[in-house]
């Protein structure tokens, strides 16, 4: 079963983040991962689109 992530949790991960992974290149696409308190969000810098969102356990 997949757990959903609300838009508010995604917004919070992007605006009030705990950390950002260094940018990485996957298949000629530059990606960045943002870690919020309740969600992990990966976006494509090159294509300017959302790649993946996952729920995150609170620390």
Residue by residue, DSSP assigns 13-31 as: HHHS-SEEPPPEEETTEEE
Q: How far, in Å, CA of 27 to CA of 16, rounded? A: 29
Q: How far, in Å, CA of 44 to CA of 3, rounded? A: 22
Q: Which residues contact 57 (CB under 8 A, 6 or more apart)?
A: none
The confidence score (pLDDT) of residue 2 equals 66
**Model confidence at 34, in pLDDT bands (50, 70, 90)?**
very high
Q: Is the confidence at residue 56, as pLDDT, over 90?
A: no
Could you tell me the residue ranges of all domains in the chain? Answer: 7-57
Q: What is the mean pLDDT of the chain?
A: 86
Task: Report the relative pairing of strands 24-26 and 29-35 from DSSP bridges.
Answer: antiparallel
């Amino acid at each position: 079963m997949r757990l959903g992530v609300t838009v508010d949790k995604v917004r919070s991960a992007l605006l009030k983040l705990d950390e950002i992974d260094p940018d990485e290149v996957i298949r000629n696409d530059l990606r960045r991962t943002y870690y919020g308190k309740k969600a992990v969000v990966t976006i494509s810098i090159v294509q300017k689109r959302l790649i993946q969102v996952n729920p995150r356990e609170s620390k």
